[in-house]
């Protein structure tokens, strides 16, 4: 398996930045899009439940509507694709049962063989309010977002994490209520424009000593 060297990873993470101006003439290839989709698909989540779905928007008309719901930010129309991470709205035992069936089918076992694990998951779900589950599910979506951003950087694909949008308007434009979903966070993905001055700024982060505490 091809490996990415440690210094290559560091350089890729230094290279990436929250792209403000995308080159609207440059689009992801089908191979690049599939790479990012696979990265999100393989991202970790609590119990592996993946209590979210990801809408990938490339339709220009829909992107224009999303731009209006994101306070006119140009990334929504100029980026190649918009990844909308949406958490499951009402999360119940039914979703645990669906996941259990997926496990059984994927691993060639019977659902009864994982009853203990299923009971633990259901206990977790049933012990939390829907507000608590909403927060939990949103956190899982953010983990997948992080994997997307890192994978994009490693392959010199630009991306911008975006929280500045009207969730209710996004949900309405994308028909998320009908899918039992609520938008959480988005990522515009594509290729930076040479006009974006942010790419030339030094990255500002806490120092090693300020960020890490060794015990």
The 3-class secondary structure across the chain, one letter per residue, is CCCCCHHHHHHHHHHCCECCCECCCCCCCHHHHHHHHHHHHCCCCHHHCCCEEEEEECCHHHHHHHHHHCCCCCHHHHCCEEEEEEEECCCCHHHHHHHHHHHHHHHCCCHHHHHHHHHHHHHHHHCCCHHHHHHHHHHHHHHHHHHHHHHHHHCCCEEEEECCCCHHHHHHHHCCHHHCEEEEEEEEEECECCCCHHHHCCCCCCCHHHHCCCC
List the pLDDT tens digit at each of the 215 positions of the chain. 556 677 899 999 999 999 999 999 999 999 999 999 999 999 999 999 999 999 999 999 999 999 999 999 999 999 999 999 999 999 999 999 999 999 999 999 999 999 999 999 999 999 999 999 999 999 999 999 999 999 999 999 999 999 999 999 999 999 999 999 999 999 999 999 999 999 999 999 999 999 999 99
Half-sphere exposure of 94 (CA within 13 A, CB side): 6
Is residue 43 in some structural domain? yes
Cβ contact 117:176 at 8 Å:
no
The answer to whether residue 110 is domain-embedded is: no
- Give a yes or no: residue 173 inside a domain: yes
The domain total for the chain is 1
Structural domain includes residue 13: no
Strand 52-57 relative to strand 158-162: parallel, antiparallel, unpaired?
Answer: unpaired
Domain annotation covers residue 165: yes
Residues in Cβ contact with 111 at an 8 Å cutoff, skipping those fewer than 6 apart: 100, 101, 103, 104, 118
Q: Kindly state whether residue 35 falls inside one of the protein's structural domains.
A: yes
Say if 100 falls within a structural domain.
no
Q: What pTM was computed for the model? A: 0.95
Asked if the structure places residue 116 within a domain, the reply is: no
- Domain housing 163: 19-87+131-201
- Residue 144, domain CATH: 3.40.109.10
Which structure tokens are listed for 132? 């608590």
């Amino acid at each position: 398996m091809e490996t990415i060297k440690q210094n290559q990873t560091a350089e890729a993470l230094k290279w990436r930045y929250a792209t403000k101006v995308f080159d609207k003439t440059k689009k992801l290839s089908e191979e690049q899009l599939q790479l990012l989709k696979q990265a999100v698909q393989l991202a970790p989540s609590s119990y592996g439940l993946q209590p979210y779905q990801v809408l990938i928007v490339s339709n220009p008309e829909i992107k224009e509507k999303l731009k209006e719901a994101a306070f006119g930010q140009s990334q929504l129309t100029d980026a190649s694709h918009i990844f909308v991470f949406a958490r499951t709205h009402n999360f119940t035992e039914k979703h645990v049962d669906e996941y259990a069936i997926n496990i059984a089918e994927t691993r060639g076992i019977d659902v009864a063989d994982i009853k203990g694990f299923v009971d633990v998951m259901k206990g977790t779900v049933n012990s939390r309010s829907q507000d608590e589950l909403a927060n939990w599910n949103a956190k899982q979506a953010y983990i997948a977002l992080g994997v997307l951003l890192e994978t994009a950087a490693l392959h010199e694909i630009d991306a911008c994490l975006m929280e500045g949008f009207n969730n209710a308007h996004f949900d309405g434009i994308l028909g998320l209520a009908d899918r039992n979903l609520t938008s959480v966070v988005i990522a515009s993905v594509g290729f930076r424009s040479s006009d974006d001055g942010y790419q030339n700024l030094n990255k500002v982060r806490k120092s090693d000593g300020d960020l890490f505490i060794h015990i």
